[in-house]
Amino acid sequence: MSLALNRELVARVHRPVVDPGPRPGAAYLDDEDYSAIADQVLRSWNAAEGFWVFAYGSLIWKPAFRAVEQRKATVPGWHRAFALRLTRWRGTPECPGLMLTLDRGGSCQGIAYRMAAQNVRQALICLLQREMTVKPSTTAARWVSATTAEGSLRALAFTVDRKGAAYAGGLPEDHVVDTLSTAVGHWGSCAEYLLNTVENLDRHGIRDGLLWRLQARVAQRIASQRAEPSGPDAHRVGEA
């Protein structure tokens, strides 16, 4: 069965958005912070095992490091969820977006990538800079156990802190669909992010039931928005 969401529908959502810049009053991680986090991660790393990173969202289709090996992997105890609120990148303060993260419970199938052995520390810092920005961070880097056809391994994964300010878990699915159908930032739309993720999971033979259902509902929502009549009597997005 083919995807209902496609590039033509995603293009309908896109609009130019000016980068709102750093959030006023927020504290941001600096070079010293990233260095300290990297050191903490590496203290519990066994170099003989290789440095593996578990990708469940955008890292699948846009890795932040050079990978020399990849394996389909399942991580128990964590599930993929749109539970991270964005007011930048693919959302704005006025219309926040949602991004995938790993939340407690269930299991998640994704791709484990083995990082090139050269300059692991610097590659890790670049990865941390991509995945973590404000402090305290709602995103946490932690080691997880993953199972693959070739055996078990330990991989670094980016999980969510439920006490974090950007945590948005437990939202009604209708709300998630509305957000993914409308939110746009200077990096692009949440609909594009969803499509990229589902396409690449499917390419690896991974069918995530929730994401598959969301892409179908988002496609329907975008199509219905375009189909609605325009003019003073038309309903606006967000109204009953």
119 inside domain: yes
Regions of the chain with pLDDT less than 70: 1, 226-240
Is residue 213 in some structural domain?
Answer: yes
Count of domains observed in the chain: 1
pTM, rounded to two decimals: 0.91
How many alpha carbons lie under 13 Å from residue 200 in its C-beta half-sphere? 18
Q: Is residue 2 part of a domain?
A: no
Q: Classify residue 21: in a domain, yes or no.
A: no
| 145: in domain | yes
> Residue 89 in contact with residue 186, Cβ under 8 Å?
yes
Q: Which domain holds residue 154?
A: 26-226
Coil, strand or helix at 44: coil
Say what the pLDDT of residue 226 is: 57
Instruction: Assign residue 158 the CATH number of its domain.
Output: 3.10.490.10
Q: What is the pLDDT of residue 113?
A: 98
Q: What is the pLDDT of residue 233?
A: 33
Tens digit of each residue's pLDDT (9 = 90 or more) over 39-68:
999 999 999 999 999 999 999 999 889 999
